[in-house]
């Protein structure tokens, strides 16, 4: 009778013989990230962002479902770009209905959110090869990369700067991620005053965690 090594598989009866059927070992589960948000960051989220984001959650869910991404990603875009103000677009932070310098104009909030979803998916895939629409939970690092691409395109990757040092993504993530500055990149295309102080109390990833997105390590 054929033998199998311990743990390598199981046997299946077939007539008078037993044929080994190999069973792949279960992949180890990726551990969940345990938030370490400073108290001041948690308080800032509760005081400033929790209520407007809760009011807009049905809209985020509707647009995100059509795009195939988690709704928390759109909520983070909306807050980071225009503090979830229903009168403003999260694409460039412009007022709804105003023509942008590139000629685009968004007449409704849902149209602007749909554009943000498209931009997030395209930029995360193009710059960091992250498929935001794929099944599964993203890591904190992947989330930071996605929002870095959304805000600065490929600048960080081109200058070999980790998104874990990008305040728009990770400000307030831990006590070490407070009082952050925009990366001091000497590039003619760099926005947001490179080297200047980041003024918001938290970035996109801490906001996602505050909305109970189950990120992995």
pLDDT at 30: 83
pLDDT at 20: 54
What predicted TM-score, i.e. pTM, was given to this entire model?
A: 0.85
Q: How far apart are CA 169 and CA 152, in angstroms?
A: 11
Tens digits of residue pLDDT in 57-109: 999 999 999 999 999 999 999 999 999 999 999 999 999 999 999 999 999 99
pLDDT at 170: 98
Q: 22 by DSSP, 3-state: which?
A: strand
Instruction: Walk along the chain (217 residues) in steps of 10 and give the mean pLDDT of each run.
Output: 36 46 58 95 97 98 97 98 97 96 95 98 98 95 98 96 98 97 93 95 98 96
CATH number given to 36-210: 1.10.530
Cβ-based neighbour number of residue 157 at 10 Å: 16
pLDDT at 77: 97
Considering only CA atoms, which of 150, 153, 213 is closest in space to residue 185? 153
């Amino acid at each position: 009778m054929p033998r199998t090594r311990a743990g390598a598989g199981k046997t299946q009866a077939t007539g008078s013989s037993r044929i080994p059927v190999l069973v792949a070992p279960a992949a180890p589960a990726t551990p969940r990230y345990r938030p370490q948000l400073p108290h001041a960051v948690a308080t800032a989220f509760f005081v400033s962002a929790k209520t407007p984001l809760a009011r807009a959650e049905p809209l985020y869910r509707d647009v995100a479902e059509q795009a195939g991404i988690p709704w928390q990603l759109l909520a983070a875009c909306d807050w980071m770009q225009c503090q979830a103000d229903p009168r403003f677009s999260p694409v460039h932070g412009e007022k709804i209905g105003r023509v942008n310098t590139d000629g685009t104009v968004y007449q409704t909030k849902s149209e602007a959110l749909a554009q943000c979803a498209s931009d997030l998916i395209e930029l995360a895939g193009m710059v960091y090869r992250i498929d935001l629409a794929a099944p599964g939970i993203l890591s904190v690092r992947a989330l930071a990369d996605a929002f870095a691409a959304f805000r600065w395109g490929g600048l960080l990757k081109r200058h070999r700067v980790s998104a874990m040092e990008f305040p728009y993504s990770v400000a307030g993530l831990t006590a070490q991620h407070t009082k952050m500055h925009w990366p001091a990149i000497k590039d003619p295309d760099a926005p947001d005053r490179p080297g200047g102080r980041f003024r918001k109390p938290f970035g996109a990833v801490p906001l996602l965690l505050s909305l109970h997105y189950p990120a992995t390590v």
